[in-house]
Chains A and B, each alone.
Chain A
Amino acid sequence: MSRWAAQLCWSILGTYVAIAVGVWCGLWGQNYDLAGGPKWGGISSDYWLGTNLIGQDIFARSLTSVATALQTGLMVGGLATMAGALAGACAGYWRGRWPDRILLWLMGVIDAIPFVLLAAAIAYALGAQFIAVALAMILTLWVPVARLVRAETQKLRTMPYVESAQIIGVSPVLIILRHILPNTWHLLMAQGLLVMVAALKAEVVLSFLGIGSQASVSWGVMIAESTQEVASGRFNNFLAASIPLFGLVFVLGSLADFFQSRRAGDSRASGPMQA
């Protein structure tokens, strides 16, 4: 990706962040659940993108969804990437020994259960609430990160500087934290962004299944609402959710590519999951 394209991506991402900050500060998108307008109202000066079935402001709902998406993405992306980095580094450092075996087994088990079904099972146990969704996402999305970091750690472990540190008696924990993980930085950035992408796309599927936070609004909730509307020719809700969703996912994916291409010659790393 060219420098110019990367800058464009960063500024689009910045716009999303600015919108979310505005929502968090209470500047806009606050009345997203106020059902004050007409049923399926058209575009007007009061309702910039019209209203939905029960008269809620679609524009406000889409703005609030930006904040929801970034909250979910940052939380899931951050936690899953951190967990994956630590687990992967430990597995790679003690390759073939028991920490590696246990972690590989755990990853194999989680990989074997399809994401949506695992999420459904967790939601069944905990009840359909935000924590169930977040837990399901983190529980599945740390695995691909860990696999990549494990492979990278195996390479780094044989580097002279790691061997020197081992010889002068630096503890393994310090070696992992200070000498190995910092060198996986580009990998982690790319993976973190891809985890965010996966979380955003998974959220749409889970909302459609009725698993997820009922208290707030998200693009997934809006798309689920719009399923019936589109068939009868009402596109406001559908477009107001799917276009910004596509934009954010596209930008995050492109930035992940950018970080990946800055690592020497390894473009094989793939997205953590698809939904």
Chain B
Amino acid sequence: MRDYLLKQSLNAVALMIGVTLLSFSLLVYFGPDQTYSLLGKNPTPEQIASVHQQLGYDQNFAERYLDFLKRMLVLDLGYAQSSGEAVSSLLARTSMISLALLLPGFVLGHALALLLSMLSAQYQGRWPDRLISMASMVSMSTSTVVVIIALQWWLSSSGDSGWFPVRGWSTDSVIDYLRHIAMPTLALVLVSVGYHIRIYRAVICEEMGQDYVRTARAFGAGPVVVLFRHVLPNCLLPIITRVVFSVPLLLVSGSLLLESYFGIPGIGKVSFDAITNGDQPVLLAIVTFSGVALVLVQNLADALYRWVDPRLRVQT
């Protein structure tokens, strides 16, 4: 166990170094010169030199990288160029909104996909399976942007009931909250469910072909019992993998597109603005922290595997 933890944390640290190295090189070291965005008109050479020194342009790569790491560690992320708000408070404030927006769709998407893929596996090769596979192919082939535009058009054209707002965000009451997340959630489920089904179906079908399933059936277990009691627990590992690896989708295509189209002030909207305006401090913080967060999540998932599947504890 101790060996495992040691190995795993070394691995995580190595990945985090890689992530920070990449974001530092792209956004700071090889990024555009920030000098003139910090200076007024007609700066003197002394002012330019002092800004250069302040930004660390007179130091070498290693010194600047270490300095960057130090600042990231103490969450000294600077200030957003557009609003002047401290980046750390900006991210803390907006990530909660994104979580509230995306969590229902994330859970629903996976739950729906699991149910549909079990149905699909149960009727392998027959029409429910074909129908579900076709629907999943269509879902996979449709661009998120297209789904959102179409949904928004449908909302704004189908009589202005005002139930589901086309834009905006409010969490004043539970009803308000549900009204605002309804359409983004629908969009998220529509575009993600196809990919989930594809993977879950393959996993479940493979498991259904195992001997123990045949034995359970021979002992008279019904399809529901077989699926939920025997097959599903054995599919947990790939399912966890899938859930973990769909987090980046949630983080990025999910929040970025949904929030900018539906006008929701979450972290996706912040990223969108930072990308379109080239707001370096915000971009740097988002790229670095999403990378670090994903490394943590993936390592957590690895620990989860060992907890779920005792076989893994023996192997390593």
Contacts and interface: CB of A to CB of B under 8 A. Distances in A.
Interface of A: 105-106, 108-109, 111-118, 120-125, 197, 201, 204-205, 208-211, 220, 223-224, 226-227, 230-231, 233, 238, 242, 245-246, 249-250, 253-254, 257, 267-268, 270-271, 274-275
Contact of A231 (B25, B153, B199, B205): B153
A73 to B, nearest CB: 14
B283 A124 contact: yes
B249 interface: yes
Contact of A274 (B140, B272, B275): B140
Contacts of B140: 253, 271, 274
Contacts of A275: 143-144, 253
B18 A116 contact: no
A201 B292 CA distance: 26
B252 A230 contact: no
Interface string B114-147: 0000000000000000000000011011111110
Contacts of A117: 252, 271, 286-287, 290
A125 B30 contact: yes
B290 A230 contact: no
Contact of B256 (A106, A116, A125): A116
Contact of A112 (B19, B157, B202, B203): B19
A250 to B, nearest CB: 4
B228 to A, nearest CB: 22
Contact of B253 (A116, A238, A250): A116
Interface of B: 11, 14-15, 18-19, 22-23, 25-27, 30-32, 137-138, 140-146, 149-150, 152-153, 156-157, 191-192, 195, 198-199, 202-203, 205-206, 238, 248-249, 251-253, 256-257, 261, 271-272, 275-276, 278, 280, 283, 286-287, 290-292, 294-295, 298
Nearest to A268: B202
Nearest to B133: A257
Given A106-B18, A117-B290, A271-B195, A125 B144 contact: no
A105 B14 contact: yes
A135 to B, nearest CB: 11
B137 A254 contact: yes
A119 to B, nearest CB: 9
B26 A125 contact: yes
A120 B27 CA distance: 10
Nearest to B140: A253
Given A250-B137, A271-B195, A208 B22 contact: no
Nearest to A231: B156
Contact of A201 (B143, B198, B261): B143
Interface centre among B137, B140, B146, B286, by most chain A C-beta atoms within 10 angstroms, is: B146
Contact of B26 (A124, A204, A209): A124
A24 to B, nearest CB: 25
B290 A268 contact: no
Contacts of A201: 143-144
Nearest to B279: A124
B18 A109 contact: yes
Given A109-B19, A125-B31, A249-B141, A267 B202 contact: yes
Given A114-B248, A114-B251, A208-B145, A270 B195 contact: yes
The majority secondary structure among interface residues of chain A is helix
Given A238-B146, A242-B143, A268-B202, 12 more contacts: A112-B295, A113-B294, A116-B256, A117-B271, A121-B22, A125-B25, A205-B145, A208-B145, A220-B145, A230-B153, A231-B152, A231-B153
B252 A116 contact: yes
Contact of A209 (B23, B275, B295): B275
Contact of B291 (A112, A122, A242): A112
Contacts of A245: 143, 146
A121 B27 contact: yes
B203 A268 contact: yes
Contacts of B257: 205, 208
A132 B310 CA distance: 45
Interface centre among A113, A220, A242, A275, by most chain B C-beta atoms within 10 angstroms, is: A113
B264 to A, nearest CB: 16
Nearest to A127: B32
Contacts of B291: 109, 112-113
Given A114-B251, A250-B137, A271-B140, A108 B15 contact: yes
B206 A268 contact: yes
B195 A114 contact: no
Nearest to B251: A114
Contacts of A205: 143-145, 253, 256-257
A105 B26 contact: no
Contacts of A254: 137
Contacts of A109: 15, 18-19, 22, 291
A239 to B, nearest CB: 10
Given A109-B15, A246-B146, A114 B290 contact: yes
Given A208-B145, A209-B272, A246-B141, A113 B22 contact: yes
A113 B283 contact: no
Given A113-B287, A231-B153, A268-B199, A211 B294 contact: no
8 contacts: A109-B22, A114-B251, A121-B22, A209-B276, A230-B150, A231-B156, A245-B146, A274-B140
